[in-house]
Amino acid sequence: MVGDLNSVFLPEDSKILRQPISPEIPRSDQFMAEFDQRGIFYSVFRDISGKRVWFLGPELMNLKAEVLPIWVEGNRSGRRKKLRFIKNNHAIVGYANLPETDDEAKVEIAGHTLNVGIGENFSEANSGSRIVYCISKDNDLKWIADWAHFYVKEHAADTFVIFDNNSTAYTTQDIESALNEVPGVKRAIAINWPFKFGVLDPVAQSQHQRCQILFAQRVAHMELFLRYGMFANSILNVDIDELVVSTERNSIFEVVERRFFGCLKFERYLVENVREPQITNDLPSFREFYFRNKNHLSRQDQYKKWIIAPSKLRRISKAPILWTHRIYGVINPYPVAKEFKCYHFAGITCDWRKNDDMAITREWQHERNNRVIFDNNLHVKDVFLERVLRDVFLVDKKEVKVS
């Protein structure tokens, strides 16, 4: 139940390319290798109605002036339409009405005519599900299985979708196998998502402009919602290193499904990369991390995480725009839900940020590469978190075999 990716990239010899701000200032080879200059649409597929076709891609940036308007033509109907777009600052969300008989489209863009297939929509297959999803690269399969086990047992999730972003340690089939071994998982979907994740721009940071340029992740949010999740009961977006806990031990899915406006947002709290001194195993696990920094006991930062119930959303645009830390285009009058805490585990990491440009100034919570030695003057045990982890991962003092 994984759809083919139907993508549109500018030709390699294209005279126009996506560029970072101030392109006259040289960037490193590493930066340019991680910056997507040619990607226009990462995914093209049918809407749930069958009448509309979605065209999803990364933010155009400087290309906006060069490539718009974009025209598309159905291969069988010959119908030609100008793409319309849902206005936002995160990704391209374009659409056009094309007859259901069309299974390909010609895309006219910047003097090029490019052919692209029109993929299926899989929302019907996930009807009534409780989805947890994320984008991931090379996270250990044991962590992935433990992550799924937690959300099944603590929140009654049943469907897990992982956008695999160029992992080298295993295949998407390996991910699905690991998830399917977790009791309670009804659907495991691992999507090959081979696009460039993004890059941190030291030039933009020096100019006090947005320095985090994201490609793959932002498009994945819309792919999940529009192609896989339209008929889901509820959808939760959390990374592999994030576990959400209710202070009342309630299911976050049950709570959001009862809300009139179908949405809920909550804060993140960093769990330090420090374990009990006697724990020495090489591969850490969630259940070993429950210490927090006395100097950072409040929320990690201003960025929230969210969960939605699609059928209950009150939309104010053609479609909601999902972003990692916010939902745009819906009515959300609710304050932050204090009942729920998203614990962000600094020790559950494959250190994917290690190749970041060293010229970038990082926020304190992202200095997470090195294991920290326990300091009684600095670290305090989160007793509630320790109890939750023990409840979820231990039965009669014996570890649950999740993977």
pLDDT tens digits for the chain (403 residues)?
677 899 999 999 999 999 999 999 999 999 999 999 999 999 999 999 999 999 999 999 999 999 999 999 999 999 999 999 999 989 999 999 999 999 999 999 989 999 999 999 999 999 999 999 999 999 999 999 999 999 999 999 999 999 999 999 999 999 999 999 999 999 999 999 999 999 999 999 889 888 889 999 999 999 999 999 999 999 999 999 999 999 999 999 999 999 999 999 999 999 999 998 888 788 899 999 999 999 888 888 889 999 999 999 999 999 999 999 999 999 999 999 999 999 999 999 887 655 555 556 655 445 555 678 889 999 999 999 999 999 999 844 444 444 4
Residue 192 makes CB contacts below 8 A (sequence gap 6+) with: 2, 5, 164, 172
Q: Where are the beta strands (DSSP E) in 210-339?
A: 212-214, 234-237, 242-246, 263-271, 291-293, 305-308, 321-323, 326-328
Q: Let me know the angle formed at the C-alpha of 254 by 251 and 257, rounded to the nearest 5 degrees.
A: 145
Question: Are both 75 and 139 inside the same structural domain?
Answer: no
pLDDT at 398: 47
* The residue to which tokens 């086990």 are assigned: 149
Question: Are both 151 and 43 inside the same structural domain?
Answer: no
The CATH number of whichever domain residue 236 belongs to comes to: 3.90.550
Last residue of a domain, one of 62, 90, 117: 117
In-domain check, residue 358: yes
In-domain check, residue 122: no
The CATH number of whichever domain residue 66 belongs to comes to: 2.60.40
- Measure the CA–CA gap between 26 and 41, rounded to whole angstroms: 27
> At residue 93, what is the residue type?
V
In-domain check, residue 1: no
Query: What is the torsional sign of CA 205, 324, 193, 83?
Result: negative
Question: Are both 82 and 200 inside the same structural domain?
Answer: no
- Domain count for the chain, please give it: 2
In-domain check, residue 380: yes
Question: Are both 29 and 136 inside the same structural domain?
Answer: no
> What six digits make up the tokens of 230?
């339209």
Question: Are both 374 and 297 inside the same structural domain?
Answer: yes
Last residue of a domain, one of 117, 140, 167: 117
From the list 59, 67, 85, 76, the residue with the least C-alpha distance to 115 is 76
DSSP line for 86-147: ---SSEEEEEEE--TT--EEEEEETTEEEEEE-B---TGGGTT-EEEEEEESS--HHHHHHH
Question: Are both 238 and 104 inside the same structural domain?
Answer: no
Which secondary-structure segment (H or E) carries 280? none
Question: Are both 89 and 162 inside the same structural domain?
Answer: no
Residue 6 makes CB contacts below 8 A (sequence gap 6+) with: 41, 43, 44, 45, 116, 117, 118, 119
Question: Are both 78 and 198 inside the same structural domain?
Answer: no
Q: Which phi and psi angles does 75 have, rounded to 5°?
A: -70, -30
Last residue of a domain, one of 96, 117, 138: 117
| Residue 253, domain extent | 128-399
Question: Are both 264 and 290 inside the same structural domain?
Answer: yes
* The residue to which tokens 């020495």 are assigned: 280
Question: Are both 355 and 212 inside the same structural domain?
Answer: yes
From the list 14, 6, 12, the residue with the least C-alpha distance to 75 is 6
In-domain check, residue 71: yes
In-domain check, residue 269: yes
pLDDT at 281: 82
In-domain check, residue 140: yes
- Measure the CA–CA gap between 81 and 84, rounded to whole angstroms: 9
Question: Are both 91 and 166 inside the same structural domain?
Answer: no
The pTM of the full predicted model, rounded to 2 decimals, is: 0.94
In-domain check, residue 217: yes
> What six digits make up the tokens of 297?
């006991």
Cis? peptide before 69, omega within 30° of 0:
yes
Question: Are both 147 and 290 inside the same structural domain?
Answer: yes
